Each structure stands twice: as C-alpha cells, then as structure tokens.
Amino acid sequence: MTPIIELKDVWKVYKIGNVEINALCGLNLTVNKGEFVSIMGPSGSGKSTMMNMVGSLDLPTKGQIFLDGHDIAKFSESDLATIRGRKIGFVFQQFNLINTLTAKENVMLPMMFQGIPREERIKKAEALLKLVELQDRMNNKPTELSGGQQQRVAIARALSNNPEVILADEPTGNLDSKSGLNVMHFLRRLHENENKTIIMVTHDEEVAKNADRIEYLKDGAIVKTLKGKHINGH
C-alpha cells in the first residue's frame, strides 16, 4: 500500500489572548491511495482542524504532513494552492456553490484556475454532470435544484481537476435520508470504480460505515479505529 497522506505527530495550537487551545494533540494518521476513510468524533474533537490540515488549508504548529511524499510545510502559499487545485477535491456540508452560476458553470470554475481551455472545460463539466446523473439540470442555477442535486453538483465540481483525494466534510449533513443515500452511492462509486481516495468527516454512524475504516477522534487525537462494512467493496 502506498500512503498518499501522512500526518505525523501533528499539533495545532490556537492562541486566544493569553490562552492556548490545543485543537490537535500529536495526531497520527496514514491514508493509503485508493482508501476510503471516515472520521468521527464529538463536536470540538478536532475533525475540522484535521481536515484543514489534510486539505493543505492550514499548517501545523508542529509535526509533519506529507501529501504524496512531500512535506507540505516546506511549500510556499502559491505552491500549496497549486497542489490543492490539482490533488484535492473538496465537498462541503453547505455545498458552497455560486448561486449566480449554472450547475455547469460551477463545475467549470476550478478548471479555469488551472488554465484549462474553455472548450475542454465545457466538455468535462458536461461529462461530470452526466456521471452524477444531472445531465438534464446542467443549465439550472443552484437555487433551482434540491439539496441532494446541489450536493451532486458539488461532487462533480470536486472531480473537475481529476484529484487523487476527495475530502468530504459532512457531505450528507444537510440532506434528507434518501438524498444522503444517493450522495453516498456516488462517493462509493468514485471509490470503487475510479479508485479515488476519500476522506470523509461525518457524525452519522451509518454513513461512516460506508468506508473501509473509521477513525474516532477525541481531544485532538485518534482514540480508536474500526473497520467499515465495505471492505474491498463488499
């Protein structure tokens, strides 16, 4: 197994006035290529901070984070932004779509930042929306779509630069159970058919079980690891 993400003794300390708050306390985590990992834990356990570290959105106070064997602490902000754009696709609980753009334009946007020609952007956005079964809603704006459809647009957008890793932060958190199942179906399909590495934060035990393994976070460190129910696609 080849590690794609490694967190080694990662600490994140926030200073508020004279008070120091430890969000992560010596966290160790290895995620291999093509793995599906769920992260669970109570509110304030460090899940969001950890996701920011994994997604190169923040740097640790101490410790090391390796993305594909490269220590991200050694990159400049512009290099980090490039790596994020190419290696990592983000799916958020709030969808984070731009309401003035159509579904297709939302999916095209990350490709624009990577300098991909317009014709190619259009073609790829259409193919990705077809993949998430929204080919008939390409020209609709987010406000004209249901929550489940918006989250599927967000998944298509996360795939636009063909990232190796998808970070999903509570991807079913704002959805009814049927839409949530639908979204999990697409994430599992990406994992099994496209061999995408998926790291997902969720508070829902049933959603978490879709992963190969579940890591439980408490007080900024992993306290236990369980196997999910979909080991090797079964």
The tens digit of pLDDT for each residue in 26-70 reads 999 999 999 999 999 998 899 989 998 988 888 899 999 998 888
Domain extents for the chain?
33-62+73-233
Task: Look at the alpha carbons of 69, 71, 72, 75 in this order and tell me if their dihedral is positive or negative.
Answer: negative
CATH architecture, domain 33-62+73-233:
3-Layer(aba) Sandwich (3.40)
**Most confident by average pLDDT, 48-52, 100-104, 157-161, 223-227:** 100-104
Give mean pLDDT, residues 119-139.
Answer: 94
pTM score, whole prediction: 0.88
Instruction: Give me the pLDDT at residue 230, please.
Output: 55
Instruction: Give me the pLDDT at residue 233, please.
Output: 40
pLDDT tens, residue by residue, 4-24: 999 999 999 999 999 999 999
Instruction: Give me the pLDDT at residue 113, please.
Output: 84
Q: Is the pLDDT of residue 120 over 50?
A: yes
Calpha distance 187→218 (Å, rounded): 26
